[in-house]
Amino acid sequence: MSDLHTELKESIIEQLNLEDMQPADIENNEALFGDGLGLDSIDALELIVLLEKDYGIKLTDPNQGKQIFNSINTMADFIEKHRTK
């Protein structure tokens, strides 16, 4: 697992108040929304801010989020390609 994957899991747990979870509880390819981790639309807005704050990536169309936030893997890929910090 890359550092980025772990870092992402840690910030998601912190940002979304997933108090009982450890980074190891989240699989890299597990769905973050719906039947997987069970995040919802409010979490999606939190994740958009996380991308901008931590990685300098500004999403102009909130609908883009759907693919990017599919799993930790898809998020990490997107961040690798677009990060400005």
Partner 1 sequence: MYINGMSNISAQPDDFLTSAEIIDIQGNILSAVVRPYRELIKPMLLRRMSKAVKMGIYTAVKSLSRSGLECPDAILVGTGQGCMQDTEKFMQQIEESKEQLLTPTSFIQSTHNTVSGQIALFLKCNGYNMTYTQNSVSFESCLLDAQMQLELDEDIQNVLIGAVDETSEKFTGFQKLDGQIKAETILNKELFPSSSPGSIISESAAFFSISREKTPRSLANCVGSKIINEIQSSEIEEKVVEFLSEFDLKPEQMDAVVLGNNGDHRFDDYYQILQQGIFNNILQLNYKSLTGENNSISAIGCALAVSVLQHQKIPKKFRANSKSASKFRRILIYNQYLGRNHGFILLERP
Partner 2 sequence: MKTVVVTGMGIVSAIGSSVTANLQSLQNNSDGLSKPDILQTGHQFPVGEIKITDAELLEELKLTASLGITRASLLGIKAITEIFENSGKLADNANTAFVSGTSVGGIDKTEQYFDLFDEKAALRPYIQAQHPGYTTQKIAEYFGIQGLVTTISTACSSSANAIMTGARLIQSGRYSKVIVGGSDCLTKFTLNGFNSLRILSDEPAKPFDRDRNGLNLGEAAAYLLLEAEDATSDQRILAKISGAGNANDAFHQTASSEDGEGAFKAMNKALKMANMEAQNIDYINAHGTGTQNNDLSETNALKRIFKETVPKFSSTKGFTGHTLGAAGAVEAIFSILSIQEQQVFANLNYQNIMEDGLIPVRENRKHQVDHVMSNSFGFGGNCTSLIFSKHE
Looking from the CA of 84 toward its CB, the CA atoms found within 13 Å total 7
Task: Answer for the pair 15, 26: CB distance below 8 angstroms, yes or no.
Answer: no
Binding partner at 20 among partner 2, partner 1, none, C-beta below 5 to 8 Å by kind: partner 1
Shortest Å, Cβ 36 to partner 2 = 19
Label residue 85 exposed, middle or buried (CB < 10 Å: 0-12, 13-18, 19+).
Answer: exposed
Minimum CB distance to partner 1 smaller for 47 or for 72: 47
Q: Which stretch binds partner 2 (CB under 8 A): 10-18, 20-28, 35-43, 67-75?
A: 35-43
Shortest Å, Cβ 66 to partner 2 = 14
Backbone CA torsion sign across 73, 43, 56, 7: negative
User: How far is the C-alpha of 2 from the C-alpha of 28, rounded, in Å?
Assistant: 10
If binding is defined by CB under 8 A, does position 45 make contact with partner 2?
yes
If binding is defined by CB under 8 A, does position 60 make contact with partner 2?
no
Residues binding partner 2: number (CB under 8 A): 6
